[in-house]
Every structure is written in C-alpha cells, then in structure tokens.
Structure 1
Amino acid sequence: MGTSTAYGGPGGGTPLVPSWLGGGDGGDAPPNPASPGVGPDGQPPADGAAPPAPPNRPPIPKTADPQRFSGARNSFTRFAGSGGSDRASLGRAVSKYVSTSVSGARQGCTTHGRLSRCLSARLLGFLADAQARGVREALRALDLESLAGRPIAEIFVGLADYICPGAGTVDEGIAREAYIETIVELASEGLTDLTTFTPDQMQTVFELYATHAIEARICNDIGTKAVTMPTDAQAAHRVEQQLRDFIRGGVSDALTRARSETPNLTPERIQVFVDAVYESAFAILQTLGDAEADQ
C-alpha cells in the first residue's frame, strides 16, 4: 500500500522454505548417484573397497498448502469492503497471515523477512555509528562525507544504495520501497536533525522501516490485486492507515521489549537484536489480531 506496487501474490504452490535458504543451489538437479560398487569415474575401485558415499544434499522443500493465503485474503477483503469499520476482520486477516500463511512467527520471520531484517540491521548500525562517532564520521566510513550537513531527507536518500542496494527481485523491491516510505515520514515524525538524534528517535526510524516492510510483505503475499478496495478515496485511505497503525503497534511493542532486554546495543549484537524484534513483532501481531477478532 502507500507507494508500494503490488503484485498478485505468490502462487499457492510456492514452498514455505525457498530453495536458496540453508545453502541450496537454487534448483539445479543433483547428479545421479553412482551405482553400488562403482567409483566416481564409473569404474570399480582398484582395491575392491566400497566407493565413497555421495555428498549430502539439502532436502527438497515441501510444497506448501496452496490455500494458505486464502483465509487472510478473505478476511482482508471483508475488512477492505467495510471501509475500515470491520476491525474484527482486520484482526483475523493479520492473525491468519501469521499463523497459517507463514506458519507462525518464527517461520514468518525466517522465510519472509530475511532481506528486510538484514537491511534493518544496516540502517540501525549506521544510526548507532552516527550517534557514537558523529554523522560526518559515519558518512565518511561509507565514502559519503559530502552528505554531511545536508538536510536529513537528502542524507537518507544518499544512503539508499548502501541501505538497500538493488530492486530487481520482489524482496528487494519491498525493502527499497519500505525505505522510501520511511524517508517520506521523517518530517511528519519530527525527525529533522540527524546530528541530535536520541535513542528514542533511532527507535522511531527503525520502527517506521520495519512497519512499512511488514505491511508491504503482507499486502504482496495476500495479493492486493485480488482484494477490492473501496472506490471512495477516504475509505481506501482509512483501510491503508488502519492496517499500518495496527502493524506499527505490534512493531513498537516488540521494539520496546527488545530494548528492555538489550539496553546496551553493541555493533556485534545489532543483527541479533533486529531478528528478535521481527520475530517478536510477528508473534505480537498474531496475539493482537486474535484479540481484535474476538471483540
């Protein structure tokens, strides 16, 4: 939503765990194993010993349930059709997305947010460096010192290729658009001077980015082209805004919890911290969704 360009959603038969996770080679078929008693060259070993065992290969991913997005999609369609008034359907849509579409908070975090989590860590790492050593030094480390002293929006635009390089795949497109949406909201959130950023303001930037990334992922997964939005512009805006606010509430709670558990964030722990926030956010969103659906 927002400036995101939606597609029709992933096919129902797409595996929950992509072949590129866990060291897979992306689809090349493994060679036929050698026959018993035959070496790699097709000849029996000279000493009569058994040939070496073929190397272990990653298992073929299981085909996912082709209907795993239908529950979330149907509930979101009802929510959109209500113009944003059917909060119970919004809650069911988000809850079903986490519990069924992506098989729970941990699986959803692992398979549907890997790139966004990596880029979130990169963004948070830059902000932490800017706070610790100063904006100029943090930019100099990236060979972007010429951006020092520029307005905050210009600095973030200049950082785009470092934070989220490339936009050729769906995941890269989602990550980059989430970053652009974050830049658009900086001024409205009162984030105008990077040189005076506080830890709370750093949290706000991270919160904005994670919210937009999760929102875009949900919308693309359930297939916004398959959901009929209200023709009234104000009603359509309410639908978009309520979904975004719902997600941001979950991200904010997860981030607050993570900060209480890791008050001193070191560069070495940034990725672990970000991963924990995303997984906790998915879990909180499911809980909030269930609560909303029961009202």
Structure 2
Amino acid sequence: MGASRASGARLLGFLADAQARGVREALREFNLEALAGRPITEIFVGLADVICPGAGTVDEGIAREAYIETIIELTTEGLTDLSTFTPDQMQTVFELYVTHAIEARICNDIGTKAVTMPTDVQAAHRVEAQLRDFIRGGVSDALTRARSESPNLPPERIQSFVDTVYESAFAILQSLGQAEADQ
C-alpha cells in the first residue's frame, strides 16, 4: 500500500499546512490559490493530481479511488469549509481516506481471489458493510493512539505518522479478525 501511504501523507500534510498557514497559502504551494474560498469538494478535486499523482499501477489506482471516495463522503460528514477545520475534522478526513484505501485494497484482493466473499448478494453486502465499519473502527483507534503519542506533527514526521497509522490499523484489524474467527 505504498501509494496509499504516500498519498495519505500528502493529504495529511496539506491539511496540516492549511490549518497552520491558511487555505490560500497551502494552495499557493501548488499554484492552486484560485481555489481558496471554494467548497471543499472543489478544492479536493483540484488537489487530486497533487495528492494522488499517477494512476498507472494498481496501487496508485487504489490510492486515487480512496481519495475520490473520500471527496464524495466529505459532505455526508458535514465537512464543507476547509478554512474552519478543527484537528478532529482533519482526523475525520484522514480517517475516511485511510478507511477507503484499506477497503479498496481488500476489494482488490477479493477481485484477485486472494480473499473470498459469500456468493449470496445480500450476504456479500452485509459483509461489505461490516467490513467498512470494522476498518473505520480500526483506523480510528490507530489514529487516536498515534495522535495521543504525537499530537503535533511537523512536516518531517507526517510520513512516519501515516506509516504508524497504517501498521496499527492492520494490526488491529488482524487481531479483531482473529478474535471473530475464534468465536
């Protein structure tokens, strides 16, 4: 999940920069300052090639798909104004992205038959919904733990932080999955 991790780091870096220096200045880094004041979905669409450059490999495609799914979900979470984001809202955006990235990776694994799904369509939909909730919970727990250990993230620590979140989320998912299998 290298591309997803790198994209997650770029997303988190942009969000931290927007909070620290303001949206216009953060966008200026990418010659996109004209997007300042626009709805968050427009800003994030404008940043797509910055956050998720390239889409030639499966891994890059997963990162981009996760980013697009995050943009779609922003409004349902009530996240519409980037200029007033709180640290918790930044966490929510990052949490959404990581959740979608892990879910897309698992869906890819299902497609390549590395993981199997029930053949009954309704059962498969239930599994998918449970999986999404399961992933989101694992990501949220990992992110909360990582933020408690390092609440202020300077730019040079963001990639390390993202790696820690991914590793923790997968560890939590693995242990929860094992506990579920043992029942």
Q: Smaller-chain TM-score range? A: over 0.9
1:157 and 2:45 matched? yes
Q: CA deviation at 1:228?
A: 5.1
Match of 1:167 among 51, 55, 60: 55
What aligned pairs does 1:1-295 form with structure 2 within 5 A after superposition? 113-223=1-111, 227=117, 229-232=119-122, 235-295=123-183
> Per-residue displacement from partner, 1:219-278 (whole Å, max 9, x unpaired)?
21232676454334xx54333221111111111110011001101111110011111111
Aligned residues: 181
> Per-residue displacement from partner, 1:105-153 (whole Å, max 9, x unpaired)?
xxxxxxxx11111110000000000000100111111100111111111
Distance 2:91 2:98 in 1: 10
CA RMSD in angstroms comes to 1.5
Distance 1:240 1:222 in 2: 11
Higher relative contact order (CA 8 A, sep 6+): 1
The 8 Å contact of residues 117 and 124 in structure 2, kept in 1 or not, is answered as no
Distance 1:134 1:229 in 2: 49
The verdict on how the C-alpha distance between 1:228 and 1:238 changes in structure 2, with shifts beyond 3 A counting, is closer
Moved more, 277-286 or 222-231: 222-231
1:94 is aligned to none
> Per-residue displacement from partner, 1:51-75 (whole Å, max 9, x unpaired)?
xxxxxxxxxxxxxxxxxxxxxxxxx
Higher helix share: 2
Computing the radius of gyration from Cα coordinates, the structure with the larger value is 1
Distance 1:248 1:227 in 2: 19
Any stretches of 5+ residues in structure 1 without a counterpart?
1-112
The verdict on how the C-alpha distance between 1:229 and 1:166 changes in structure 2, with shifts beyond 3 A counting, is farther
Q: CA deviation at 1:173?
A: 0.7
Any stretches of 5+ residues in structure 2 without a counterpart?
none
Distance 2:74 2:120 in 1: 28
Distance 2:6 2:85 in 1: 22
Q: TM-score, normalised by structure 1?
A: 0.59
- SS of equivalent to 1:150: coil
